[in-house]
Structures are given as structure tokens and as C-alpha cells.
């Protein structure tokens, strides 16, 4: 059991942190929501009612979608885009999808390579892009979920203000949807760009996200 935790501590620790912060979001979101209800002269709602509301749903999904967009763009972008000196980047001249030998596919597959590497054809082609494609699919799914829950939350507000509800397509043209979208996207783009450039000059000893402490600034694509 101890070995299970030590060998999987990265995904388990972040999974636990995810659950803890999701609970924290629900509790603080409820407090904020009820503050607004009191201001509006309305009755406060319970935690159960809050976590089963579209307001909670859109607040969760609008953040998920931007994270998966970030990873989708980063995974595909780093195939082609370079940052000289960054641990996050391939070396200049290595852009593109690389050779079969470098990627250990086709005649260069290893005995213990994944089954779809040996399968060839569309399966190898699909498997060769599966990480980015999954991130892209999760981005589209979470963005769609954010639009549907945001639409319902928006209509709740409309009804409270004695205004007519709108259709889902109508919501896609609303500033509320795009404001929620862009406020999350901009932060992800800044975080990715700053990580790429900061790792040129700064180090974190022992982290695979950093170059070795003594690596020259001009060294690209090396992790320590």
C-alpha cells in the first residue's frame, strides 16, 4: 500500500487537492451566493441546493474548460513552436512530428511498445495524437457544459429580475458567456507563456519542469 502511494504520489496528491479545493469552492461559493441573496432580500439556500444549482455548475466548468484548452494548445503548440533556452521547449531544428526512429514507431517500435503502435495504419496514427486529442475533446465537452449551465444560471437571474429567459443560442451571444470564457483563457495563456520564458533563466532544483540548476541559459529542452 505504501508503495502504491509513493509510486503514484503526483496524481494522488493532485487528485486529493482537487477534491479539497472543490469542497472549498462549494462552501465559499455558497457564502457568496447567500450574501447576494440577503442583499436582494431573498431567502438563503442550503449547501445541497447550491451544489445542485447551475450557478455552481458554470463556476466549475468555466475553469475546467480553460485548463483543457491550455493543455490542448500547449501539447500541439510545442510540436511546432520553440523557445530558445526553455526546459518546456524542444531544441531549435527539432520542430515537427519527428522521425519514426525518434518516435519509436513503425519498424522502430519496441517489443513492449503499446499495442496500437504495433497495429499500424489509422490506429497508430490516432494513438500518435491521443494525448492532445483527448485534451481537445475535454476542452470542447467542458466548454459546452459551461455554456449549458451558464445559460441556466443566466436565465435564473433573468427571472429574478422579471426579465424574459433566453434560448441557449441566444446565451452564446451574451457578454456573460464570453466574459466567463475569456477571463479564464487569458490567465491560462499568460501562465503558459511565462512558464516557457521563466524556465530559461530560473531553476527549481530536482524538478523535471526545470533545467538542472547549473545548466546554461542557452540550453534548450533539457530537464533535471
Partner 1 sequence: MRQVRAIYVAYLVVILVGVVYCTALGLLGR
Q: Which residues bind partner 1 (CB under 8 A)?
A: 4, 7-8, 11-12, 15, 52-54, 56-58, 60-61, 64, 138, 141-142, 144-153, 155-156
**Shortest approach of partner 1 to residue 104 CB, angstroms?**
18
CA distances from 61 to 33, 144, 183 (A): 17, 9, 13
What's the gap between Cα 161 and its chain centre?
Answer: 34
**Shortest approach of partner 1 to residue 9 CB, angstroms?**
11
User: Judged by CB, which is closer to partner 1: 60, or 73?
Assistant: 60
User: Judged by CB, which is closer to partner 1: 47, or 144?
Assistant: 144
**Shortest approach of partner 1 to residue 204 CB, angstroms?**
25
**Shortest approach of partner 1 to residue 60 CB, angstroms?**
6
CA distances from 161 to 37, 54, 165 (A): 13, 17, 10
Helix orientation angle between 54-80 and 175-201, rounded to the nearest 10 degrees: 40
Neighbour count for residue 191 (Cβ, 10 Å) = 12
**Shortest approach of partner 1 to residue 98 CB, angstroms?**
25
Dihedrals phi, psi of 61, to nearest 5 degrees: -70, -35
Rounded-to-integer distance, Cα 181 and Cα 148, Å = 13
Task: Classify residue 53 by its DSSP letter.
Answer: S
User: Judged by CB, which is closer to partner 1: 152, or 195?
Assistant: 152
Longest dimension (CA), the chain: 71
Q: Which three cell numbers stand for residue 159?
A: 427571472
Taking alpha carbons only, the member of 64, 49, 37 closest to residue 180 is: 64
User: Judged by CB, which is closer to partner 1: 25, or 219?
Assistant: 25
Q: Which three cell numbers stand for residue 80?
A: 511546432
User: Judged by CB, which is closer to partner 1: 151, or 196?
Assistant: 151
User: Judged by CB, which is closer to partner 1: 155, or 220?
Assistant: 155
Taking alpha carbons only, the member of 53, 72, 76 closest to residue 64 is: 72
**Shortest approach of partner 1 to residue 57 CB, angstroms?**
4
**Shortest approach of partner 1 to residue 68 CB, angstroms?**
9
User: Judged by CB, which is closer to partner 1: 72, or 86?
Assistant: 72
Amino acid at each position: 500500500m505504501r508503495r502504491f502511494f509513493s509510486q503514484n504520489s503526483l496524481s494522488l496528491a493532485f487528485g486529493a487537492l482537487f477534491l479539497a479545493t472543490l469542497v472549498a469552492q462549494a462552501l465559499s461559493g455558497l457564502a457568496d451566493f447567500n450574501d447576494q441573496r440577503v442583499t436582494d432580500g431573498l431567502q438563503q439556500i442550503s449547501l445541497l441546493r447550491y451544489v445542485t444549482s447551475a450557478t455552481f455548475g458554470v463556476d466549475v466548468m468555466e475553469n475546467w474548460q480553460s485548463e483543457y484548452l491550455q493543455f490542448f494548445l500547449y501539447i500541439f503548440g510545442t510540436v511546432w513552436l520553440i523557445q530558445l533556452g526553455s526546459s518546456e521547449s524542444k531544441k531549435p531544428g527539432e520542430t515537427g512530428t519527428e522521425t519514426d526512429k525518434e518516435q519509436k514507431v513503425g519498424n522502430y517500435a519496441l517489443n513492449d511498445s503499446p499495442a496500437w503502435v504495433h497495429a499500424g495504419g489509422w490506429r497508430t496514427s490516432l494513438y500518435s495524437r491521443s494525448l492532445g486529442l483527448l485534451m481537445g475533446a475535454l476542452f470542447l465537452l467542458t466548454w459546452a457544459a459551461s455554456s449549458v449551465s451558464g445559460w441556466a444560471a443566466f436565465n435564473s437571474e433573468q427571472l429574478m429580475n422579471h426579465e424574459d429567459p433566453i434560448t441557449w443560442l441566444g446565451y452564446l451571444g451574451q457578454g456573460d458567456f464570453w466574459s466567463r470564457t475569456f477571463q479564464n483563457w487569458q490567465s491560462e495563456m499568460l501562465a503558459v507563456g511565462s512558464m516557457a520564458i521563466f524556465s530559461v533563466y530560473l531553476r527549481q532544483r530536482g524538478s523535471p519542469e526545470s533545467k538542472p540548476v547549473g545548466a546554461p541559459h542557452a540550453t534548450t529542452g533539457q530537464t533535471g
